[in-house]
Amino acid sequence: MVHPNDALFSGEKPFPVIPSCEHFAGNEKMILKALSFQEEKGPVFDITQDCEDGAPTGQEKEHAEMIVKVTNSDANKHSMAGARVHDHSSPFWKQDIEILVKGAGEKLAYITIPKPTEAAQVAEMIEYLQKTAASAGLKREIPVHVLIETHGALRDVEKIAAMPWLQVIDFGLMDFISGHHGAIALSNMKSPGQFDHELLRRAKANVVAAALANGVVPAHNVTLDLKNYDQTKADASRARNEFGFMRMWSIYPTQIDAIVAAMQPDHSEVDKGVAVLLAAQDAAWGPIQHDGELHDRATYRGFWTLVQRAKATGIPLSDEANSRWF
């Protein structure tokens, strides 16, 4: 039988289906701890190893080499660890890319570019990444994530979202607020202000719209209330249901489960999607009726994305669905 990816997206770019939680870790101890959580919970969240804020001053090279070592180690069982490099204004971003790509290019899940102030900076960094990957003999494209946290990046977000190798557009709330020089109160770094302030609502909506229009996953900023599961889950729910974000950062272990739970699709919708897709595949992807409703490739595409997201967030699927599609 023809797989959904082959039947429904011929000649098109399928929407990336990746975990809905992205956990940041700065030093080796925290990275290894996060990888142990990943082994325990399953492949339901990514880990971003931080070369930017995580690297001690003067030890940037050694820090990047440590990330290469951990990425290539047996601790990275799911190969779901990426890395954030230094920003364009730093003298270390090229060194980061060289070390990471040449040392761990086959296993690195993605590379995150922080703090661009214009699209040209992102284009330059992606071009350097592509050249480095080519010189290293890599056959794969390394997915790129870009942080929108400056006025210039927000202005150019449509251009940035359309760039090659893009997988995720992240919104960086704290630096974005700081860049307003007091026009947005610092209290809006927390809820409810982070969702209710008009300038922040505009920024978040523009980021999500640009990402989705270009087949890129929009990712939401952190919750500063580190240990409050309910607050993190509430923030993730608002980000998902009011703004359309499909991924969110975690900066504390408690936040991982809260984000995954809030971002999961509705279980009843998933069950319906599985039933429709099984029948559609049996019908060679022609139109079908299910519970009195007509379904064709348009609804199949929506259900297939839903089912893949369910799988990525740990919702159990039937044995039949797993054997056919995964």
What domains can you pick out in the chain, each with its CATH number?
15-263 (3.20.20.60), 267-325 (no CATH)
Could you identify the residue written with the tokens 């056919």?
A: 324
Query: pLDDT tens for residues 273-298?
Result: 999 999 999 999 999 999 999 999 99
Q: Which two three-digit tokens encode residue 205?
A: 């909506």
Per-residue pLDDT of the chain (326 residues; tens, 9 = 90+): 899 999 988 666 778 989 999 999 999 999 999 999 999 999 999 999 999 988 889 999 999 999 999 999 999 999 999 999 999 999 999 999 999 999 999 999 999 999 999 999 999 999 999 999 999 999 999 999 999 999 999 999 999 999 999 999 999 999 999 999 999 999 999 999 999 999 999 999 999 999 999 999 999 999 999 999 999 999 999 999 999 999 999 999 999 999 999 999 999 999 999 999 999 999 999 999 999 999 999 999 999 999 999 998 889 999 999 999 99
Cα–Cα dist 226/91, whole Å = 32
Q: Which residues contact 72 (CB under 8 A, 6 or more apart)?
A: 103, 104, 107
Cα–Cα dist 303/277, whole Å = 7
Cβ neighbours of 134 (radius 10 Å) = 11
pLDDT of residue 10: 66
Cβ neighbours of 287 (radius 10 Å) = 12
Cα–Cα dist 98/286, whole Å = 48
Cβ neighbours of 177 (radius 10 Å) = 25
Omega prior to 16 cis, within 30 of 0? no
Give pTM, 2 decimals: 0.92
